[in-house]
């Protein structure tokens, strides 16, 4: 009886929701929550700035993802085994952080924070793979939506509720050590759930048994190649590019460096670094016989339209990323909204609208399919940029506003009444709902592209490509906004979404073929 329930759709959706929660919980604990702890403990601003590098493992998780495809921990199987190990290890890392004072043991604390980030990124790798493996194609839309819901809910707790717990005046007054201990206990509970309640995967969905020694050597060769690429970018490419572009950006009248120079140098250096590092890493993995990675990539590129899919992954949310890259400074300085108003509309109401959009998108996806969802939600994302164009043109107060009274509901609260601008609410609401829909469809699309024998490797690589647009648009967006003005900026962001829509249309036949329903036989792995 329990086995039947465990293999049901409702059970799978419940597990995906819980895994989304487990994936989202550690993020703030190595980000905003950790910064709050460092500030309270008297760490200087410069040192806190360096702590932002703690999040680097999230960027490079594709390096060790092949090892999580190749090697299988004992007893629990490949996916569940790695998941339980990473969750217990995260709990242990959080306990280590909670046992010390950042002010007295700054370097050791930083090392433990990096460890937690590495383990959290590893958990993300295996959760992405498990979600892709366990959900039949017909369930991926709603599954993606529930995952986003769980992820956002966890971020509210570790990045929001935790601040209330720590507030000595209006909250519980708990110290951060106690809060991190509570978060560690939650991760232990997540590991217990993973052991007892996760549906098992088919034994057939395993990677070929390559030479273990070669894979380990190949992994370290890949790490060395990336390190060389980073050194090339910072020590060679950046100074050369800065010297080459310096003539186009004369110093300011007071002799200070033109701020636009750094933006263009950063973007050009990033492009040069990627162009240097990717071929070097490919060469290193080939020479060192990193077989799991090489076979996984060969498997992906054997798929019809593989290279075009990579282009689509980069372009699909490019316009959305471009418009959102400078949204906060636009609302604060460009239009003049108050911080409290932006916080209520964008961070409170907008967060729940994103969750609503993801759930609605998943439900609609089950009705109309993957391709039509991608096209419809992509078009709505394109239109949503015009909402901020209207804000830039019409300005604050054009549609009037209303006072939002203080409230306290379960996870969010507002202590004092705050004015809410109707036009701002319209623009933010439209952007968050359509963005949630687009994210749900996009995650389902990435899952559909993965071969279940190499899900960890392929999903990690595809998600890395999806971050390319977000990384590259920052310097360009800042430079353009300063030179062309906000209304034109948002018009350009709208047009930047068109190439992704065109690429999506060109690939419609291949994407529709990905929608062929396929169940996943559930047996003990």
Per-residue pLDDT reduced to its tens digit, 271-308: 788 789 888 988 998 899 898 888 888 888 888 888 89
Query: Taking 80 as the threshold, does the pLDDT of residue 55 lie above it?
Result: no
pLDDT band, residue 88 (cuts 50/70/90):
very high
Least confident range of 118-122, 148-152, 489-493: 148-152
Give pLDDT tens digits for 200-240: 776 666 666 788 888 999 999 988 998 999 899 889 998 99
Q: What mean pLDDT value characterizes the chain?
A: 84
Instruction: Report percent pLDDT > 70 for the chain.
Output: 87
User: Which phi and psi (to 5°) does residue 201 adopt?
Assistant: -105, 160
Give the model's pLDDT for residue 192.
96
Give pLDDT tens digits for 351-399: 778 888 888 888 898 889 899 999 999 999 999 999 999 999 999 889 9
Domains of the chain: 2-197 (1.20.1250.20), 212-288 (no CATH), 305-514 (1.20.1250.20)
pLDDT band, residue 525 (cuts 50/70/90):
very low
Neighbours of 46 (CB within 10 A): 7
From CA 380, how far away is CA 144, in angstroms rounded? 19
Give pLDDT tens digits for 24-35: 999 889 887 888
Alpha-helical runs (H) found in 30-105: 32-40, 45-50, 56-59, 65-70, 78-98
From CA 478, how far away is CA 328, in angstroms rounded? 12
Whether 401 contacts 420, CB under 8 Å: yes
Give the model's pLDDT for residue 472.
61
Query: Taking 50 as the threshold, does the pLDDT of residue 523 lie above it?
Result: no
For the chain, the distance separating the N- and C-terminal CA atoms, rounded to the nearest angstrom, is: 19
Give the model's pLDDT for residue 205.
62
The mean pLDDT value for 155-159 works out to 79
Q: Where are the beta strands (DSSP E) in 135-185?
A: none
The listed range with the strongest mean pLDDT (61-75, 454-468, 469-483) is 61-75
Give the model's pLDDT for residue 404.
76
| Angle formed at CA 449 by CA 511 and CA 28, multiple of 5 degrees | 120
Residue 402, beta-bridge partner list: 420
The mean pLDDT value for 332-344 works out to 75
3-state helix, strand, coil in the chain (%, to 5): 75, 5, 20
From CA 368, how far away is CA 67, in angstroms rounded? 37
Give the model's pLDDT for residue 524.
38
From CA 6, how far away is CA 26, in angstroms rounded? 27
Full-model pTM = 0.78
From CA 120, how far away is CA 381, in angstroms rounded? 30
pLDDT band, residue 253 (cuts 50/70/90):
confident
Give the model's pLDDT for residue 358.
86
Q: Which residue has the higher pLDDT, 493 or 171?
A: 493
């Amino acid at each position: 009886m329990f086995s039947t329930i465990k293999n049901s759709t409702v059970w799978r959706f419940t597990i995906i929701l819980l895994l989304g929660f487990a994936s989202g919980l550690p993020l703030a604990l190595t980000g905003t929550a950790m910064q709050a702890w460092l500030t309270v403990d008297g760490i200087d601003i410069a040192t806190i700035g360096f702590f932002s590098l703690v999040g680097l493992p999230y960027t490079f998780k594709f390096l060790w993802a092949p090892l999580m495809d190749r090697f299988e921990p004992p007893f629990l199987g490949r996916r569940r085994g790695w998941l339980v190990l990473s969750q217990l290890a995260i709990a242990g890392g959080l306990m280590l952080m909670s046992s010390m004072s950042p002010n007295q043991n700054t370097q050791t604390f930083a090392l433990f924070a990096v460890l937690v980030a590495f383990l959290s990124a590893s958990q993300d790798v295996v959760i992405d793979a498990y979600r892709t493996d366990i959900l039949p194609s017909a369930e991926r839309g709603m599954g993606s939506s529930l995952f986003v819901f769980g992820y956002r809910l966890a971020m509210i707790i570790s990045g929001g509720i935790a601040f209330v717990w720590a507030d000595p005046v209006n909250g519980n007054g708990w110290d951060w050590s106690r809060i991190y201990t509570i978060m560690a206990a939650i991760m232990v509970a997540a590991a217990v759930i993973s052991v007892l309640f996760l549906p098992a995967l088919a034994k057939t969905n395993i990677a070929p048994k390559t030479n273990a020694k070669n894979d380990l050597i190949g992994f370290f060769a890949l790490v060395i190649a990336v390190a060389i690429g980073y050194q090339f970018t910072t020590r060679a490419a950046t100074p050369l590019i800065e010297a080459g572009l310096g003539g186009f950006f004369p110093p300011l009248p007071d002799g200070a460096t033109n701020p636009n120079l750094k933006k263009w140098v950063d973007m050009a250096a990033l492009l040069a670094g990627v162009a240097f590092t990717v071929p070097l890493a490919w060469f290193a993995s080939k020479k060192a016989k990193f077989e799991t990675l090489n076979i996984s990539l060969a498997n992906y590129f054997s798929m019809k339209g593989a290279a075009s899919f990579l282009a689509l992954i980069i372009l699909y949310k490019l316009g959305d990323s471009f418009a959102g890259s400078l949204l906060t400074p636009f609302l604060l300085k460009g239009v003049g909204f108050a911080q409290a108003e932006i916080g209520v509309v964008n961070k409170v109401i907008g967060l729940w609208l994103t969750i609503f959009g993801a759930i609605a998108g998943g439900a609609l996806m089950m009705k109309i399919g993957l391709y039509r969802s991608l096209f419809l939600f992509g078009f709505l994302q394109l239109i949503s940029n015009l909402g901020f164009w209207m804000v830039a043109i019409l300005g604050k107060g054009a549609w009037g506003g209303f006072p939002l009274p203080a409230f306290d509901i379960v996870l969010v609260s507002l202590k004092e009444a705050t004015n809410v601008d109707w036009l701002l609410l319209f623009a933010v609401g439209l952007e968050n709902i359509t963005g949630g829909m687009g994210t749900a469809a996009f995650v389902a699309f990435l899952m559909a592209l993965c071969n279940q024998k190499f899900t960890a490797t392929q999903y990690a690589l595809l998600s890395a490509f999806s971050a390319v647009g977000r990384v590259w648009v920052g310097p360009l967006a800042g430079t353009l906004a300063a030179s062309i003005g906000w209304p034109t900026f948002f018009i350009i962001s709208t047009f930047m979404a068109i190439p992704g829509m065109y690429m999506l249309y060109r690939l419609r036949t291949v994407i529709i073929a990905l929608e062929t329903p396929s169940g996943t036989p559930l047996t003990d792995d």
